[in-house]
Structure 1
Amino acid sequence: MNNNDISYTLQALAEHLDARLIGDGARQVRALATLGDAGPDDIAFLANRAYLKYLPGTRAGAVLLHPSHADECPVACLTLDNPYLGYARLSRLFDPLAARFEAGVHESAIVSPSARIGENVQIGPQAVIEAGVVIERDVVVGPGCVVGADSVIGEGSRLHANATVAHGVMIGKRTILHSGCVIGGDGFGFAHDGSRWHKIAQLGGVVLGDDVEVGSCSSIDRGALGDTLIGNDVKIDSQVQIAHNVQIGDHSALAGCVGIAGSTRVGRHCMLGGGVGLSGHLTLCDGVQVTGMSLVSHSIHEPGVYSSGAGGTMPNSQWRKNAVRFKQLDALAKRLSRLEKRRDEKPDVERQRDEKYKDDS
């Protein structure tokens, strides 16, 4: 159900996606839905062959799909070589949150007189903008957000409710920070004198590139001296911990509950599965993929897919073979025990003969 005044003609959507339209271009659609749930006012999509069985019975006003399935579509369709990418672009057009944007500063927000606020900015209820902050044009700062002193929020970025940006943080353009995330909190730095811990002041900052997205309740710590650096188009899921002075290259993606210890460098186009842990002071080269729940305790210098379990990180193909053998360990141990028992039960003469044969060979 769509409760917003969003409406597009199929011709307009085809032009937006650079897709081929088959059907009435003047027909209007008001929402995006699945093949099974869509009605006549909706546009659906088919990006996975597993859902092809729902296409003949769809009630959608139109379907976005690959050209190879156009002849099977009973309604109007937009054809595209990568329909999943097309779906992603359509989803932003039908996003009701974007449609509700209204520029202005809420009366309950606290904005320092020394802050510089760009054009077409929305600052929500009870948000706090501290001294020296720069907020560029078309930024949304949601309710309860805090932007610390001397931080910069780049053009077109969005801070969802209760996101926190500490002092001296640089946020690039079109970056999205979800609720509860903390950018620029203190890194975990302490010195021990033999009896107690002494805090090390974290004097660096955090720099996020353009088009970064940080999930809810994730933390990116500020650097101890230099900055923690997150490249362009990096996607970070919820409940991720990135320690001080970590560097992550452009276009990398981190799934939920990843933890990266201090001063580790992750290359470009890397992918870390859920629950992956990286020890500190490591380097992952470009193009590394680490499967979920793996622990990486040493640097990786060759691109590829890596996994770990018993025995530490290794190439994924080797790990898969070992994983099969892990399941056989109990049977092998029992077999070895039976063989040892049979050996111990042999008469002394027979055992001595076997040992002499072994020595002779």
Structure 2
Amino acid sequence: MKRDASTSYTLGELAERIDARVVGDDTVRVSGLSTLTDAVSTDLAFLANRAYLKYLATTQAGAVLVHPAHGENCPCPRLELENPYLGYAKLSRLFDPLANQASQGVHPTAVVSPEATLGERVEIGAHCVIEAGVHIADDCVIGAGCFIGADTAIGRGSRLHANVTLYHGVIIGERAILHSGCVIGGDGFGFAHDGKGWEKIAQLGGVSLGDDVEVGSCSSIDRGALGDTLIGNGVKIDSQVQIAHNVQVGDHSALAGCVGIAGSTKVGRHCLLGGGVGLSGHLTLTDGVQVTGMSLVTNSILEPGVYSSGTGSMSNSQWRKNAVRFKQLDEIAKRLTRLERDIRDA
């Protein structure tokens, strides 16, 4: 990680920000974050996983963020708190170079409609296109090459990285982060078959993202066919995720890479979808559902909990044998039913 010596904090200052306890010299200054193995004397390292406890005694870090139960062998001053990973997450933003950049204003190559409205301290990068009726609130950053379609609204403090596309009529809440290549508001997959070919259904709805939403690179959120596709507050969406038209995702849910959600499915609040999960259309997942990676969900889930489908990896020879057995399951089940009936009647 590139370190900027001008951005430094004492352990005392950092402890106040995350409500941690300083053990050792609270005037020690750090100017970066790093792992236990890579840290140098100007870094704050963190220990959040017991698997890395073996590296604590030999770390070269200037200080360590650690759980109180694991600080005994720490060779340097430390910040103790119950959730070191959460503390690391909060402190990471202090050292983010993007967060500390001064606003560059509107680049001369940007094309901004005179009918668009820009708030205070808005930055528009090179070669952006901002259409009529767009409203961009205060303190937003629009990266180079972004396209923002007509009548779209972007809330205060949001950041669009380079080459983000927002179609017309999209609503983005406050403090959103949209990464490069993501597309918000493209047409949903709507077609009617006439017996010979496909008749396109115009997608008349929009997309609405709540506050504090993050969308990863090259992810797509389609506009609704009639009503809007709705993404709640605090939702975190990884890269290469596909969310189809009229999907609803509840507050503070998280979708890992390559998740695909078919149209009109409703995902509750605080749900976790692992990488590669697929949800069929017109389903409902209640609040607090976790679906493990590479699972396919074809029925609604109405009880919170952890759900999985599919099988773990194995040797190809074993998989081929199991595949043969899988095709025999229906006949085996019928034979078992007959045997149980015969036993009851005997």
How far apart in 1 are the matches of 2:198 and 2:174? 39
Unaligned 5+ segments in structure 2 are 313-317, 327-342
Kept after mapping to 1: 8 A contact 2:225/2:245: yes
Letter in 2 for 1:185: G
Residue 241 (structure 1) aligned with residue 245 (structure 2) = no
Secondary structure of 1:269's counterpart equals coil
Kept after mapping to 2: 8 A contact 1:190/1:200: yes
How far apart in 2 are the matches of 1:299 and 1:203? 27
Partner of 2:154: 153
CA shift, 1:199, in A, is: 1.1
How far apart in 2 are the matches of 1:6 and 1:275? 39
Partner of 1:67: 68
Encode CA deviations 1:33-65: one digit per residue, 9 max, x unaligned: 111111111111111111111111111111011
Equivalence map 1:289-304=2 (5 Å): 289-304=290-305
Secondary structure of 2:92's counterpart equals helix
How far apart in 1 are the matches of 2:197 and 2:187? 19
Assess, with a 3 A threshold, how the Cα gap between structure 1 residues 32 and 125 changes in structure 2: closer, same or farther: same
Secondary structure of 1:305's counterpart equals strand
Partner of 1:192: 193
Unaligned 5+ segments in structure 1 are 311-318, 320-324, 334-357
Q: TM-score if structure 2 supplies the norm length?
A: 0.89
Kept after mapping to 2: 8 A contact 1:33/1:43: yes
How far apart in 2 are the matches of 1:72 and 1:301? 47
Partner of 2:285: 284
CA shift, 1:229, in A, is: 0.2
Assess, with a 3 A threshold, how the Cα gap between structure 1 residues 12 and 330 changes in structure 2: closer, same or farther: closer
CA shift, 1:332, in A, is: 7.8
Letter in 1 for 2:248: Q
Equivalence map 1:64-213=2 (5 Å): 64-213=65-214
Partner of 2:334: none
Encode CA deviations 1:98-151: one digit per residue, 9 max, x unaligned: 222424111111111111111111111111111111111111100101111111
List, as ranges, runs of 4+ consecutive aligned residues in structure 1 with deviation greater than 6 Å. 325-328, 330-333
How far apart in 1 are the matches of 2:190 and 2:268? 24
Partner of 2:309: 308
Assess, with a 3 A threshold, how the Cα gap between structure 1 residues 96 and 332 changes in structure 2: closer, same or farther: closer
Kept after mapping to 1: 8 A contact 2:3/2:32: no
Partner of 1:250: 251
How far apart in 2 are the matches of 1:194 and 1:96? 57
How far apart in 2 are the matches of 1:146 and 1:39? 42
How far apart in 2 are the matches of 1:109 and 1:332? 62
CA shift, 1:326, in A, is: 8.5
CA shift, 1:292, in A, is: 1.2
| Larger gyration radius, structure 1 or structure 2 | 1
Identity %: 71
CA shift, 1:331, in A, is: 10
How far apart in 1 are the matches of 2:320 and 2:89? 41
How far apart in 1 are the matches of 2:142 and 2:89? 24
How far apart in 2 are the matches of 1:27 and 1:106? 41
How far apart in 2 are the matches of 1:72 and 1:177? 41
Letter in 2 for 1:130: E
Kept after mapping to 2: 8 A contact 1:184/1:206: yes
How far apart in 2 are the matches of 1:245 and 1:33? 41
How far apart in 1 are the matches of 2:88 and 2:2? 17
Q: How many residues align?
A: 323
Secondary structure of 2:138's counterpart equals coil
Range moving further from structure 2, 172-181 or 190-199: 190-199
Query: How big is the alpha-carbon RMSD for the aligned residues of Structure 1 and Structure 2?
Result: 2.2
Partner of 2:330: none
How far apart in 2 are the matches of 1:331 and 1:179? 45
Residue 2 (structure 1) aligned with residue 2 (structure 2) = yes
CA shift, 1:330, in A, is: 8.0
Partner of 1:17: 18
Partner of 1:339: none
